[in-house]
Amino acid sequence: MLNGNGHDPASRPPATATVAVHAGRAVGPGEPLAVPATFASVYRAGGEAGYAREGGATWGSFERALAELEGARDAVAFSSGMAAAEALLATVPRGGRVVVARSAHVEVRRLLADLDDDGVLRAQPADASDPRAFAAALEGAALAWVDSISNPNLEVADVGAIAAGARRAGVPLAVDATLATPILQRPLALGADVVLHSASKYLGGHSDLLLGAVATRDPKLAERVRGRRARTGATPGTMEAWLALRGLRTLDLRIKRGQASAGLLAERLAGHPEVASVRYPGSADAGPGAPLDGPGAMIAFEVAGEEKRADAVCEAVRLVIHAGSLGGVETLIERHARWHDEPAVAPGLLRLSVGCEDPGDLWRDLDRALRTTARRSALRRTEPTRAA
């Protein structure tokens, strides 16, 4: 039951877009339609929580909504995506081995490296693009970790095949679904054990909050990460949780709007004379991976001239915003390697998070930036060398 307005639980389950709009709302006569933000640090005795570190009404609404979207039993919100990742890794027994995709988020791999250096656990990188090779590394592991769509190379993992290999090895699988969101893929339905989100990105969708979450069907795992949240104080703010819940209401609309524009931009970028290559999950050469319910709104592309030229394009755009995040209503561009030195990421790779603007306006801005920087680059090459 989503909202008490006549939905028959025995009928066909509602679409994800419908769940995003209705899940987490209070049910009953006189209840507010929009979930209010409840600001409180202390609660009267006798309820589920006595102190805000243990839980809150606003978090609870967001968690219920995300759990329903993911087809999970429970979801737990955190102060950030990395706080959620830390709590999940804290469930690994001391000295346990975590098999992590080489394409996993760079900060997660850095956190794993730190924990490995400290002797807390052992981190083993593996190739998630080959489910058989990934499965071969799982024997005796405590946890497997992959991204459904990698950032920034946009490689799509075959979550179903990886989950099958993890199940045979008896290893729980965690999937970071930040870029896919429940609109494009629900990893739990493919056999994953837990899903992680940086809700600061697509779930919130407006570049105005910091929040993370995990969702799972395992009540014991949910209790462990919830306990970790309370002990470390990695609790979300009430306002952030409220904003994320409001963001969920338009998640389907935003994803599909950005996706429609991204498909057009990816096609035009692929034919642009100043673009060397394009990576987009919807393209014919996107590579293997479990089917998504759509290619999404992220594009990665390389320009001729690599780092300097890529940086120049970031500085030349006017409508597109040069900033280091993704998933908002505004279109953002960045050169990932400018901030993160990763061998698998081309130095000149530009990551484009396509927002909700008019696609024609976006294309004119990108095309102008590409052509303007090309002319400047050509002029520099033809300038006579001055005598010392």
Q: What is the pLDDT of residues 82-121, one digit of tens each?
A: 999 999 999 999 999 999 999 999 999 999 999 999 999 9
- Domain match, 212 and 343 both: no
Residue 17 CB neighbours (<10 A): 15
80 located within any domain: yes
One domain for residues 231 and 135: yes
Lowest mean pLDDT among 32-46, 235-249, 321-335: 32-46
pLDDT band at 51 (very low <50, low <70, confident <90, very high): confident
> How many domains does the chain fold into?
2
pLDDT higher than 90, residue 130: yes
Domain-located, residue 10: no
Q: Domain range holding 41?
A: 16-249
Q: What is the pLDDT of residue 339?
A: 80
- Kindly indicate the confidence band of residue 1, based on its pLDDT and cuts at 50, 70 and 90: very low
Q: Are residues 264 and 343 in the same domain?
A: yes
Same domain, 46 and 167: yes
* Dist CA 110 CA 107 (whole Å): 5
According to DSSP, the β-strands at 173-176 and 194-198 are: parallel
Q: Which of 223, 249, 275 is the last residue of a domain?
A: 249
One domain for residues 103 and 232: yes
Q: Are residues 314 and 205 in the same domain?
A: no
pTM of the complete model: 0.92
> Both 62 and 170 in a single domain?
yes
Which parts of the chain are beta strand (E)?
74-78, 97-101, 122-126, 143-147, 173-176, 194-198, 212-216, 275-279, 298-303, 321-322, 332-335, 349-353
Query: Cα–Cα distance between 388 and 358 in angstroms, integer?
Result: 50
**Domain boundary at 230, 249, 268, which?**
249
Q: Which residue has the higher pLDDT, 9 or 234?
A: 234
- Evaluate whether residue 8 is within a structural domain: no
**Mean pLDDT for the chain?**
92
**260 and 348 part of one domain:** yes
Mean pLDDT across 259-264: 98
Residue 272 inside a domain? The answer is yes
Q: Could you tell me if 133 and 74 lie in one domain?
A: yes
Q: Give percent of the chain above pLDDT 70.
A: 92
Calculate mean pLDDT across residues 67-83: 98
CATH classification at residue 311: 3.90.1150.10
282 and 334 together in one domain:
yes
Identify whether residues 74 and 218 lie together within a single domain: yes
Tell me how many degrees the CA angle 368-369-370 measures, rounded to the nearest 5: 90
The last residue of a domain, from among 197, 231, 249: 249
Distance CA 229, CA 223 (A): 10
321 and 225 fall within a common domain: no
